[in-house]
Amino acid sequence: MRQTPRPRRGSWAASRHPTAVVEIEPPRLSSFPQEREQLEYSSRSLVFASDGARVLRVWGRPERPWILGVEERGTRWRATGYGPGPVETRAALRALFSLDHPIEEFYRKVRDEPVLAGTERKFRGLRLPRDASAYEALFHSILGQQVSVRAASAIKQRLIDATGAHLEADGRIVPRVPAPGEILALGTEGLRANGTSGAKAKSLLALATDENAGRWSPEALDPLGTPELVAALDAAQGVGRWTAENVALRGLGRPDAFVAGDLGVRVALAEYGAVARTADEATARAWGDRHYPGWGSYATLYLWRKWVTDAQARRSFVRPKRDAG
């Protein structure tokens, strides 16, 4: 997460000044420092910005983005919205950090399972950090297929720069994911010129078209159970099960999506003596279902965090090739 620069000419701006400021008393099991530190590990750090004590992040639907600022004020968290009213600003804060998940239930399971036992103390209060939309989560996941986090971040930065995908608030610039119309305007040639493969360019164009048609709207996806949601995503251009489960976890904040095919998860399970690397994905999934029913997303998050914390040298890895679409 980087300090935000001053505005540049041509920056796309919504409301540049606060339209709502709200404060909440966060759940007992929550930690703003843990969430902020998680952003440093995350492939999403590119679209967060820092303004002193505040974290700034673009929120809202792709066609109506706005900036959300969050900071800790003593025992309370303050959220500032640049565009919406207080109701939407408060809801965005709760969604961004999954504050409505009763993670004490997950911690009870952690204490009874040897691989993650102790992480409920080490990462106390860490919750799923969400993307603003399924569209945004799909954008990140498609570009993250088969390449390292570093390589994916470089391509995202080029696409952000090529489309001028930024918002401005209080004299600060906050990057955002390019909107569907901006992706379509680049076309295949523009996407390829900014580092995407031909297959990923095709997938991004399909993603933008589907988003404009309402395929990935909350109205279409929220009524689906997680298995149905994963199946619906898996059927899309360029989306395999790994991508679909990541989108369920990050894009919709589902707590029960164990990403059994993720390479980082498989390495962690093998290193901690739970599931051998030679075992098939079904065996890894059975481990998650057995120990963390209903909390697979948190098992995934805490495995990721434990593995990265225990092995600082492992900063990037290749994604499974079967998700190329």
Confirm whether 184 is domain-assigned. Answer: yes
Claim to verify: residue 93 and residue 196 sit in the same structural domain? no
Claim to verify: residue 211 and residue 291 sit in the same structural domain? yes
Confirm whether 228 is domain-assigned. Answer: yes
Confirm whether 202 is domain-assigned. Answer: yes
Distance CA 76, CA 71 (A): 9
Confirm whether 250 is domain-assigned. Answer: yes
The predicted pLDDT at position 312 comes to 61
Length of the chain: 325
In single-letter form, the type of residue at position 39 comes to L
Q: How many domains does the chain have?
A: 2
The predicted pLDDT at position 313 comes to 40
| CATH number of the domain bearing residue 26 | 3.30.310
Claim to verify: residue 90 and residue 188 sit in the same structural domain? no
The predicted pLDDT at position 52 comes to 84
The predicted pLDDT at position 5 comes to 41
Claim to verify: residue 200 and residue 80 sit in the same structural domain? no
The predicted pLDDT at position 176 comes to 95
Q: Flag residues of the chain having pLDDT under 70.
A: 1-14, 40-41, 312-325
Confirm whether 107 is domain-assigned. Answer: no
Spell out the residues 6+ positions from residue 125 whose beta carbon is closer than 8 angstroms to its own.
Answer: 29, 30, 31, 34, 35
Look at phi and psi of residue 214 and say left if phi exceeds 0, alpha if psi is from -120 to 50, else beta. left
Claim to verify: residue 85 and residue 158 sit in the same structural domain? no
Domain containing 29: what range? 2-97
Claim to verify: residue 88 and residue 149 sit in the same structural domain? no
| Residue-wise pLDDT tens digits, 211-267 | 999 999 999 999 999 999 999 999 999 999 999 999 999 999 999 999 999 989 999
